[in-house]
Structure 1
């Protein structure tokens, strides 16, 4: 599937037309924005994490019967999605009081909301995405009553699925934003993304924030928080992943005394292999791993080598990677 033309570029993604008119490609960017793009930054690797996390959540929802626009993961920064007519509303589900809700109503942060609150916001950057009521939505034709009811129904199902899924991984789903789109037959799908950019995640035990609030509030360690979310969910979506075998060769750097190599050379000479002039002895390591893409698998193998498998003071390494 090839990118044909850039259709749209937003704060976090680029959307491309493909050679199939029913499909589009999302490219996740490394940019971070807050307060309607008044605060901006770029963090290398952030696009990869939001792409992988969103793909995992969307695939999970599909497996549970929720219609989404997700088709497949293409690589670390790209995913293939259905082209839809986007409904101009953002739907926010709140399980815990925080953020704009506390500011708007003057309520205490951290209150559990049972049942969860469902709020609608008009997608309009110039107006600051204002809160709207269902009466506003019907009066101005932003969406029909059946579509509003369907969006609410899907939001509450998504909340139930993701809350349970994340709770099992030590994460509290505080709130999240969903967007929706329609196909040519009028069917509604969950669209856009589900990631730390669009959700609030708190560690169940420490209450540490693991989402874009770290950027909004200047808490630091933004990328580390996204990585922590990915670490906790990465092993649970095998359907988004493939299996790879890494064949790793570790060997001493040139100039480092190789006593084992000298011993082998001496033994070869004693057996009559006098044509052998030098021997360097290394170690061979074979690792099998699951990963959403070959690019991601290669990155993880590199991390393993540098964190554990190779002494970078005296050793070098190379590896080959194959999908199995």
Structure 2
């Protein structure tokens, strides 16, 4: 097992069979000790966050597999906080795809002159470049195509997959009385060029509320899995 990359919330190892192992950590993104799924720095450690994130990720990836939606998921070991995934190539140096159902976070910081907190956004999809130095700038479909990162046809496919996957998560949360405000997803290509969901689906990459109150990542996992 060869270490390939130390990430903010996961370490990545290459396995002999060509698959990869993701080791989930208790680090979560945020600023000044406050969790923020849209932040590009590690803000704090939450004991148990790694296993909780994997537990929820496993839950959602297995639902997506049942629905025939392509992902990199192979299997997970909850006790070890490890997940085995298929090999994938990323777009450029990485993209983050955000599906927004209600306005909050960076959307309000950018567009607060026109938008209000909690405003309905109807599953608005935006893409940002993974670029810590430039604060993960948003990028348009035309710019992605122009820069050779993602073709216009691939953008359409990516946007449709994002809405499909996000709606699955939204509906699952609704079953527990939880409202999804936004979710951050990542995608890559299979060896044959098919677009598939990669990374994770956990409380660490979404904002969810219940009865108007924000639900912390660990509490979200408890409400979704244990209740």
Match of 1:197, SS state, is helix
RMSD between superposed Cα atoms in Å: 1.5
* Pair 1:109-2:117 in alignment: yes
Tell me the distance in 2 between the aligned counterparts of 1:26 and 1:143.
Answer: 25
- Structure 2 unaligned segments of length 5 or more: list them: 31-38
Match of 2:125, SS state, is strand
CA offsets per residue over residues 208-241 of structure 1, 9 Å max, x none?
Answer: 111xxxxxxxxxxxxxx333222222259xxxxx
The answer for the alignment partner of 2:217 in structure 1 is 226
The answer for the alignment partner of 2:163 in structure 1 is 156
8 Å Cα contact 1:89-1:142 kept in structure 2: no
Tell me the distance in 2 between the aligned counterparts of 1:113 and 1:94.
Answer: 6
The answer for the alignment partner of 1:166 in structure 2 is 173
Number of paired residues? Answer: 214
8 Å Cα contact 1:177-1:198 kept in structure 2: yes
Provide TM-score, normalisation by structure 1. 0.63
- Structure 1 unaligned segments of length 5 or more: list them: 211-224, 237-324
* Pair 1:185-2:192 in alignment: yes
Tell me the distance in 1 between the aligned counterparts of 2:144 and 2:218.
Answer: 37
Tell me the distance in 1 between the aligned counterparts of 2:220 and 2:46.
Answer: 16
The answer for the alignment partner of 2:17 in structure 1 is 20
Superposed, which structure 2 residues align to 1:220-259 within 5 Å?
225-234=216-225
Tell me the distance in 2 between the aligned counterparts of 1:43 and 1:97.
Answer: 26
The answer for the alignment partner of 2:213 in structure 1 is 208
The answer for the alignment partner of 2:143 in structure 1 is 136
Superposition misfits of 4+ residues, deviation over 6 angstroms: none
* Pair 1:30-2:26 in alignment: yes
* Pair 1:46-2:49 in alignment: yes
Provide TM-score, normalisation by structure 2. 0.89
The answer for the alignment partner of 2:34 in structure 1 is none
The answer for the alignment partner of 1:251 in structure 2 is none
The answer for the alignment partner of 1:55 in structure 2 is 58
CA offsets per residue over residues 214-271 of structure 1, 9 Å max, x none?
Answer: xxxxxxxxxxx333222222259xxxxxxxxxxxxxxxxxxxxxxxxxxxxxxxxxxx
